A and B are shown apart, each in its own frame.
Chain A
């Protein structure tokens, strides 16, 4: 579980560069690392719990996509709204959700945000501007267009951001929500996480264009491609999108090129993914690459500094797992709570 900064072994190694105008202090750089590592380690814990039969229901991993979740969510400000999707645990963490609550949610404990009523990432936290994702992918695009409409009508300098995968772009909701946001120039940011597969459907069977982002011009909105494995690039592009939105420039589509390194869910071995493709993306691991970046650019003094963060995360997760598993399942008397508006 402990990882270390390893020396470079090849000249062709995937190397990150920081965007030219990225304004980030040392704390910021380290926070990005912290959230990505926390995202990775928390999902590893959940995977273990799943195999121990402690997790109730499915488990969806964002292995290899942590940079996208963390970078995009980190660009937001107070008052902004965000709805993660199934592979954005990192976005929850950046917005301040405690791992204890996430583990409790996965294990169906009363301590989870849905009080043990729903599972995995099907939860939100309205006080923190987090809207719950649901299984009907892209259904949050029109919902977020609605939130953005309210921001515009009330003159708020805020944005609404949500994620879709390459697969969800083929749905009705994506099209209708996107078009509405474009017509009304709403402060909406859509992150299209193009991770190669929608369950077992490769992108070539999902849309007949090389880069999804060309659709932005068909909606009359701005679009940009970003390396979804570069947390700094994800942060930078989302910050610029945010500026554009709050200045009335209308919605922005960001296509983050990344890869889903596990199956659709923990039960799926993804045998349909060519081994070479998976290997290629393993070499582009966003967390490892970012560690190398921090080391190479002397943002950290030594490997020990990173190891100290890793150790802190592990200690926190040890405690979180213990606390979540020690907490009770929901009491039967709470069954009808939160079912109807009280």
Chain B
């Protein structure tokens, strides 16, 4: 039976333009490339100082959310949100230098891996005490509100961090004072080795939102267009003074907790199942279908990302380690 194509209702309220789509794909691929280089190569070659935590399989979340940030917005990423750093304009050179413990890294060789931030880019440093940045982000948003600024704070956490008191206190405070902040939860099924079923007695973290009197939404975190849409609505809501939101992205951590963890506790089949949902090939297929991307261009993008990371590694490795006499710098405030 010949039928006209069914009317396609737009899946989302907010759909990016073609240029933004390609930009997002570039950043997703760059995140994948830089993290792959760090975790699978440099770390194993002993060229990284300390541990390595990556967001393999979660690239759509950091990229699809951070794309909505304006210049003066503030962000507190988690350890699986490399896309946030890159989209804020922090260069791959400085990031690799950070991982190599060099003076040119974001912490000037004082701290390792994702424990980095840069207030020139409004990126608040991540600390190991997960959930700690929830009240910090609420505090930033309180300043924006008190100063009548149209700025927004974004804060990222895994589902494990939602069991922490800081998470609870920060969200409660943000809700009472209707602060311009958005809380993103990367629900990637495991907090180190703890599965969600031992983390909470509910299906979705978003079910906590009504208890705080804020909107909560569950989103496919491996579909960048879904991430883009949900994040845009939450950021707009915050910016227009309607208060905080909780957006939960369902995804999967495609590695161990860190590079030293083989994740033997993850039941067989899970990685294979989630590999099928890999956000990058999924987005590429979509863009090729839409005619926004060609196979050739896709491969070129891959090469470009590899070159950027090659350059970053070469550059970083030539950078000096911090000198011993700098040891006490940054320990106390020097004005």
- Which residues of chain A have a CB within 8 Å of any CB of chain B? 170-176, 179-180, 182-183, 185, 205-209, 214-221, 250
Contact = CB atoms under 8 A, between A and B. Distances in A.
A205 B198 CA distance: 32
B288 interface: no
Contact of A179 (B163, B197, B210, B214): B163
A172 B201 contact: no
A179 B212 contact: no
B210 A170 contact: no
A218 B173 CA distance: 17
B175 A208 contact: yes
A183 B200 contact: yes
B213 A171 contact: no
B176 A179 contact: no
A220 B200 contact: yes
Interface in B193-238: 197-202, 207-214
Contact of B168 (A172, A183, A206, A220): A172
A203 to B, nearest CB: 10
B238 to A, nearest CB: 15
A112 B211 CA distance: 41
B200 A175 contact: no
B164 interface: yes
Given A219-B202, A220-B201, A171 B211 contact: no
- Which range contains the number of B residues in contact with the other chain? 20 to 34
**Residue among B198, B199, B208 with most chain A CB within 10 A:** B208
Contact of B212 (A180, A207, A216, A220): A207
B129 to A, nearest CB: 12
Nearest to B197: A183
15 contacts: A170-B173, A173-B165, A174-B168, A175-B169, A179-B163, A183-B200, A208-B172, A208-B175, A208-B212, A208-B213, A208-B214, A215-B212, A218-B210, A219-B200, A220-B202
Contacts of B207: 217-218, 220
A209 B212 contact: yes
Contacts of B210: 209, 214, 217-218
A83 B141 CA distance: 38
Interface of B: 163-169, 172-173, 175-176, 197-202, 207-214
Given A217-B202, A217-B207, 12 more contacts: A170-B172, A172-B168, A175-B163, A175-B164, A175-B167, A205-B176, A207-B172, A209-B212, A209-B213, A214-B211, A216-B211, A220-B207
B169 A172 contact: yes
A207 B175 CA distance: 8
Contacts of A172: 164-166, 168-169
B163 A176 contact: yes
Given A183-B201, A209-B212, A218-B208, A175 B165 contact: yes
B36 to A, nearest CB: 35
B200 A179 contact: yes
B200 A208 contact: no
Contacts of A217: 202, 207, 210-211
Nearest to A172: B165
A185 B214 CA distance: 27
The 3 tightest CB contacts between A and B, nearest first, are A172-B165, A220-B201, A208-B213
A183 B199 contact: yes
Contacts of B213: 207-209
A263 to B, nearest CB: 23
Contacts of A182: 200-201
B211 A221 contact: no
A18 B214 CA distance: 36
Nearest to A220: B201
**Residue among B164, B197, B209 with most chain A CB within 10 A:** B164
A183 B198 CA distance: 6
